[in-house]
Amino acid sequence: MALRLSADFVAGIVVGGAIGWGFDALLGTSPWGLIVFFLLGFAAGILSVMRTAGMIAKRPELDDDPASRRFD
Amino acid sequence: MATDPIHQFQIKKLIPIEIGGVDFSFTNSALFMVITVVGASAFLILSARGRGLVPGRWQSAAEVTYEFIAKTLRDSAGSDGMRFFPFVFSLFMFILFANLIGMFPYFFTVTSHMIITAVMAAMVIGTVIVYGFRRHGLHFLKLFVPSGLPAVLLPFVTFIEVLSFISRPISLSIRLFANMLAGHITLKVFAGFVATLGSLGFVGILGAILPLAATVALTALEFLVAALQAYVFAILTCLYLNDALHPGH
């Protein structure tokens, strides 16, 4: 369970950090791009974790309508 | 004595092939992929060959896996998600068989290499993007714009949604490969303790009882993880495909 959810979190941060790093390398704004995108990646990671946890936890009592099962 | 826990993940060239300067060698990973595909196909084809109205043991097992994935897909992506059933079922069977075959001693675990899981994750996300745009056009982008938000927050939240979408193939591939890699290393390390302690005489053999028990327990856990990770990969694939089928809900 821990590894299942931590992968989502880590991936968000990695993507944020990578985009920030590339942004800085292209525009020479170091370190601001990395800082901003790292934090946005952190937020995206939390979002993914909450969604994955919600999707896996909510599964059994789901009703037939797939639309109502979206996790908002 | 190969007590090095990383040794088991080494890629070895079995039949060296080189075409135009690119290495196309048939490796031990490729061999076990072939074994996986043959194993999964044989399981389904041979067990369904009887076509009994009242299924036997093997046919029941095949039907249970079919029904299980079909139900998961229908629950997650609706009945129009069933067009992706061959894709999801193939992924599930491949991962399940690769994980289980990797549990044999001295066998290679295909899914413990990130390149394999990354390609499968890229296939899933590629399908989501291509199908999403083909079926919904630009409406597919509604996936990234949650409704009912104040205009001030909208660009911010949209950007976070895009980042979260980009991180999906990465988390999908990391999850499977990290679970298999970590599990097999742990198993090897604990088994190594037994061998090392056991060579230290009577007290060592007494001390080796604990890691031996841990190894037995971990083996059971690894079988659980092998099946669970195949299921997790399949259900996340279903949920991502649901985004392609029904964006903007």
Question: What CA–CA distance (Å, rounded) separates A8 from B240?
Answer: 14
Please check the confidence at residue B61 and state whether its pLDDT lies above 50: yes
Please check the confidence at residue B141 and state whether its pLDDT lies above 90: no
| In a domain? residue A68 | no
Residues B15-21, mean pLDDT to the nearest whole number:
85
CA-nearest of B230, B231, B219, B226 to B100 is B226
| In a domain? residue A43 | yes
Q: How confident is the model at residue B49 (pLDDT cuts 50, 70, 90)?
A: confident
Q: Report chain A's terminal Cα–Cα distance, integer Å.
A: 22
CA-nearest of B236, B239, B222, B124 to B179 is B222
| In a domain? residue A19 | yes
Looking at chain B, the whole-number percentage of residues with pLDDT higher than 90 is 55
User: How confident is the model at residue B223, as a pLDDT?
Assistant: 95
Q: Does A10 sit within 8 Å of B174, measured CB to CB?
A: yes
Q: Does B163 sit within 8 Å of A15, measured CB to CB?
A: yes
pTM of the model: 0.85
Please check the confidence at residue B198 and state whether its pLDDT lies above 90: no
| In a domain? residue A62 | no
ipTM: 0.72
| In a domain? residue A13 | yes
Question: What CA–CA distance (Å, rounded) separates B226 from A2?
Answer: 15
- Looking at the partner chain, which of B75, B164, B171 has a beta carbon nearest the beta carbon of A62? B75
Decide: B96 and B230 in contact? Cβ < 8 Å: yes
Question: What CA–CA distance (Å, rounded) separates B68 from B219?
Answer: 25
Q: How confident is the model at residue B122 (pLDDT cuts 50, 70, 90)?
A: very high
What is the tally of helices (H) and strands (E) in chain B?
Answer: 7, 4
Please check the confidence at residue B116 and state whether its pLDDT lies above 70: yes
Residues B181-203, mean pLDDT to the nearest whole number:
89
Please check the confidence at residue B24 and state whether its pLDDT lies above 50: yes
Please check the confidence at residue B156 and state whether its pLDDT lies above 80: yes
| In a domain? residue A39 | yes
Domain extent for A51: 2-57
| In a domain? residue A34 | yes
Which portions of chain A are predicted below pLDDT 50? 59-72
Any alpha helices (H) in A1-72, and if so which ranges?
Answer: 2-27, 32-58
Q: List CB contacts (< 8 A) between A22 and chain B.
A: none
Q: Which residue has the higher pLDDT, B7 or A54?
A: B7
Angle at B132 between CA B126 and CA B133, to 5 degrees: 95
| In a domain? residue A26 | yes
CA-nearest of A48, A3, A5 to B224 is A3
pLDDT in tens, B70-113: 999 998 888 888 999 999 999 999 999 999 999 998 899 999 99
Number of folded domains that form chain A? 1
A14 touches chain B (CB under 8 A): yes
